[in-house]
Amino acid sequence: MVLTLVWLFLLLCNSSVLVGSLNDEGVALLSLKRSVSDDPERSLNNWNSSDDNPCSWNGITCTEGKVVSISIPKKKLLGFLPSALESLTVLRHVNLRNNKFYGSLPVGLFNAQGLQSLVLYGNAFSGSIPPDIGKLSYLQNLDLSQNFLNGSLPTSLIQCKRLRSLDLSQNSFTGSLPSGFGTALVALEKLNLSYNKLSGSIPSDMGNLSSLQGTVDLSHNLFSGPIPSSLGNLPEKVYIDLSYNNLSGPIPQSGALVNRGPTAFIGNSGLCGPPLKDPCSSDTTADGAPSSSPFIPNNSSTTPDNGSGKSGRSRGLSKSAVIAIVVSDVVGIFLIGLLFSYCYLKVCDGGKGKDARGNNFEKGSKGRKEWLCFRKDESETLSENIEQYDLVPLDTQVGFDLDMLLKASAFVLGKSGIGIVYKVVLEDGITLAVRRLGEGGSQRFKEFQTEVEAIGKLRHPNIISLRAYYWSVDEKLLIYDYIPNGNLATAIHGKAGIPSFTPLRWSVRLRIMRGIAKGLTYLHEFSPKKYVHGDLKPNNILLGQNLEPRIADFGLGRLANIAGGSPTLQSNRMSSEKPMQQQSAPSEVITISPTPSISSGSCYQAPEAMKMVKPSQKWDVYSYGVILLELISGRSSVIQMGTSEMDLVRWIQLCIEEKKPLSDVLDPFLAGESDREEEMVAVLKIALACIQTSPERRPSMRYVSDAMAKLTTSTN
């Protein structure tokens, strides 16, 4: 009995010695472990009191025996942050993103005055930001997005003068921005305050933030008043998103605010002027104030009255001036008619016995252009009468000409309503993709040239590059880079008649999703004309050497329309002069599946596309959302339900309404990647936002791309 008591006494003494051996920082971190009520991945399993210090613990980094970093992201930790963390006096970095932490931000956390990075996004923190944040004079990265934080932004925030990245989006912050926001935080490179309840006017000193890059996102708030013209002082490459606020007045046309698409300003019923369709009244200036310009009449003007009730400044033209203008117009029209008649007799009659259309094009006549003679039976709507008989390169890297193209071997890749696509292999081994737009119709060459050359200037790693084109009466060709790994539809579902199929891993799918988002963002926000694709679907997303996505068929419908004729009517020859050697290559043919009763193509179209003629960027957002659902579920856009059919969007919505388990929605091939389930759920949420019935409720592609970029995963 005595020996037993002695043994217990020694054991207790030994335990106290072991606990006492852990330093103060380790004790503080153990308080964090105790505050975590659920650790499903056992991320904190090796946080033991028996260690001398915490430097070997998961997620902990030390320098000279002191804790400088806590990084435990995406581990599904459920708990709160204890105030004991204030013991970590030399802490530099905290990354607890995408967990399930709740409660308020502990004041003690802000006592680590050397803190440089605080990343807590994707949790459930609530309450306000403590004013002690002003103590963090070395803070460079603050990301509190996707939480439930509220209250106004503390005025002490502007004391963090080294801030380079500030993301407070998707919270419930209220009130106005702190005074001096733009003057103090001049080091800011990234700013995202979207999806809050911030109000008041946009500070005019925000134009001082000259280091900003990418998107400055102030969308989905309650900002009011005019847009300060000083925002134009921001770098021109910065995209300013002011959509869905209560802003009013004219949109300033200066600097970074010029040449922006309407999506940056929509959702503000009081805004007017370009790029919106709502014109501003003549009594307001670019700052929203009454006009004081001497060149703009003012309603309160005291212009002398001549007694007839009309201003003396609006007498108009005299009768003699009107007669002189009419006479000169008649004479001018007469002279033009004589000149046209002379040209017709000289050119057309002089060309008798020859083909006026120049169809006798031969090798050596490259670059030749001839005038066409109009005939009574020809269309009177011809906007251009110039023939093009040569291959036109759109980039300096084009090292082939028309002769090389026409001598090449051509394999049919696929057919659609807009021409045939060939895989063309030149004699030197260069491989191209050539699309024929058919023949006939109105020959609007100049319009075609303008459109195709604008498309040819687009260069982005996730968009197919148009390299050259060819135009003649009988033939219109578009020459692209050849992309070797087929399209996304085949990668998701396999190819009919080929039993072997290797499903894409989640990391590859996520990389494809991101690439598509980046390509669409470039088209919407950074291309010269803020383009819309309008017909995005897996069939026209091609996969490169490393399965990187390349968006294809951009602008194709427009070019086919300009080229004229029925887009489904295709010629049986490659060229009227030098036919290509068309060879069958079954392994290269893209199988077109039979059209079901629900058109598979229509499933990617936004609901409003059935009612509106002019496509909008939100159409592409909807299409992108459907593609995300297809990649997540592994199902096609049309799902067979017994004897009936249902589109994928409706099927997903039905699964949610019936509260089916996630496993019923996810592609069965992804079942072995349960560690990625959190990312899959996050992508599903993004997809559901994109397929909102109302286009106004869908996010911009820029916002979607940023959200996708936050989902980090392995790329192997």
Residues of the chain with CATH 3.80.10.10: 60-272
The DSSP annotation for 327-351 comes to HHHHHHHHHHHHHHHHHHHHHTGGG
Residues of the chain with CATH 3.30.200.20: 384-483+552-593
**Among the ranges given (282-291, 395-404, 576-585), the one the predictor scored with the smallest mean pLDDT:** 576-585
**Mean pLDDT value across residues 162-168:** 93
CA 546 from centre of chain: 21
CA pair distance 103, 80, nearest whole angstrom = 6
**Mean pLDDT value across residues 118-123:** 92
304 exposure class (CB count in 10 Å sphere: 0-12, 13-18, 19+):
exposed
Kindly state which CATH superfamily the domain 503-537+595-716 is placed in: Transferase(Phosphotransferase) domain 1 (1.10.510.10)
Residues of the chain with CATH 1.10.510.10: 503-537+595-716
Identify the residue with better confidence: 147 or 83.
Answer: 147
Are the CB atoms for 205 and 231 separated by under 8 Å? no
**Mean pLDDT value across residues 518-532:** 88
Average predicted confidence (pLDDT) for the chain: 76
CA 385 from centre of chain: 39
Write out the two tokens for 618: 């939100």
CA pair distance 178, 166, nearest whole angstrom = 14
pTM: 0.50
Reported as a single tens digit per residue, the pLDDT across 426-456 is: 877 788 888 887 655 555 777 788 888 888 8
pLDDT of residue 9: 47
**Mean pLDDT value across residues 613-629:** 91
CA pair distance 148, 449, nearest whole angstrom = 53
Catalytic residue among 535, 553, 620, 647: 535
Quick one: DSSP state of residue 539?
G
pLDDT of residue 65: 86
Band (pLDDT 50/70/90 cuts) for residue 223 is: very high
pLDDT of residue 449: 82
The DSSP annotation for 155-217 comes to GGGGG-TT--EEE--SSEEEEPPPTTHHHH-TT-SEEE--SSEEEEPPPGGGGG-TT--SEEE
The domain 384-483+552-593 having CATH identifier 3.30.200.20: the answer here is yes
Residue 356 has pLDDT above 50, yes or no: no
**Among the ranges given (11-15, 34-38, 538-542), the one the predictor scored with the smallest mean pLDDT:** 11-15
What's the Cα-to-Cα distance from 244 to each of 218, 247, 273, 554, 586, rounded to whole Å? Answer: 9, 8, 16, 29, 51
**Among the ranges given (70-79, 339-348, 478-487), the one the predictor scored with the smallest mean pLDDT:** 339-348
Told to judge if 287 belongs to the known catalytic residues of this protein, a careful annotator would answer no
CA pair distance 316, 313, nearest whole angstrom = 8
Give the helix/strand (H/E) hosting 513: helix 506-521
CATH tag, 60-272? 3.80.10.10
Q: Which residues pair with 124 in a beta bridge?
A: 102
SS3 state at 658: coil
Write out the two tokens for 368: 């030749």
Given the structure tokens 């153990």, which residue do they identify? Answer: 30
For 66-98, b/e burial (b = at least 16 CB within 10 A) is: ebbbbebbbbebbbbbbebbbbbeebbebbbbb
pLDDT of residue 297: 35
